[in-house]
Amino acid sequence: MGILSLISGWPGPSGFGSASTAEQVSDSIDASDLTVIITGGASGIGLETTRVLAMRGAHVIIAARNTKAANEAKQIILENNKNAKIDVLELDLSSLKSVKAFADNFKAHNLPLNILINNAGVMFCPYQLSQDGIEMQFATNHLGHFHLTNLLLDKMKETVAATGKEGRIVNLSSVAHLYTYEEGMRFDKINDKDSYSDKKAYGQSKLANLLHANELARRLKEEGANITVNSVHPGLIMTDLMRHSYRSIRIFKVFTFLLWKNVPQGAATSCYVALHPNLKGVSGKYFVDCNEYPASNFATDPELAKKLWDYSHNLVNSLQLS
């Protein structure tokens, strides 16, 4: 993710780069036999990912907190693609109860699950606690996706066994994982209000997305499961995700405008990692501009990944019992 390649859009080893769009990276790929769940698939790069996956023939399930907005987004896509297969199910990632209800609802539809894209998130929000009493960015960006993935994993394994097709899980992380608290993950201070930093808390949650993907990839490899798990950085894109820091982000963009992407470019890496045949068997990697890229030392620390897994598992169990 060199500055020159970001500015120029020159393709990397994959043949794609920062200027590539979601349509370009998925060109000629037939996804008509795939079922995809995407969280936050009704706005921003999630909506573009939904649109392009549906264009390639996939049956897309939009998991969204605001089902009214999601159904409106669905209708917009259908206006331009009458054959699109899209359904909407309610999901509030900041609530473990809602995550469980979503998973049960999806399973009740007796659908297969080939691809899970953990896309939704909140960014730079003021200090607040989730319904379960957990700092909101950690709860929404990591813990909700951690629980959702675990609840859906058996369904994906069943689909892999029935179809012989590789399952894929994609976590949307961010280059912001580099900008976290000094200790990386503050397991003993997740809810500490006095030392809370909206930006470092966001970075911590994005680091958690990477660590989660890496540890799950390791576990699935050890198990011999035909499922890959990878993380992606979509790039700098102006979307509603930045609503809590809109003014400062606008000022920042003035001085860094050459590094920013539009929404079709921002959705490219998600679509590439979810669909492209060149990534068959590739797991536990971090992708930027549709190319594998080294993550931070914290992100590639296997012991930290295991510690986060155990911490998240125990936290979910304790919150469900409370």
Indicate the DSSP class of residue 142.
I
3-state secondary structure of 113: coil
**Cβ proximity of 295 and 203 under 8 Å:** no
Dihedral sign for Cα 49, 56, 6, 301, please.
positive
- The whole-angstrom separation of Cα 149 and Cα 176 is 22
Residue 75 CB: number of other CB atoms within 10 A?
10
Is residue 179 part of the annotated active site? The answer reads no
CA-nearest of 61, 68, 64 to 107 is 61
> How would you classify the pairing of strands 291-292 and 35-39?
unpaired
Per-residue three-class SS string for 13-65: CCCCCCCCCHHHHCCCCCCCCCEEEEECCCCHHHHHHHHHHHHCCCEEEEEEC
Sorted by sequence, the CB contacts under 8 Å of residue 101 that are 6+ apart come out as 90
Among 196, 272, 286, 293, which one carries the catalytic annotation? 196
**Exposure on the CB side of residue 261, measured as CA atoms within 13 A:** 25
Residues assigned a catalytic role: 196
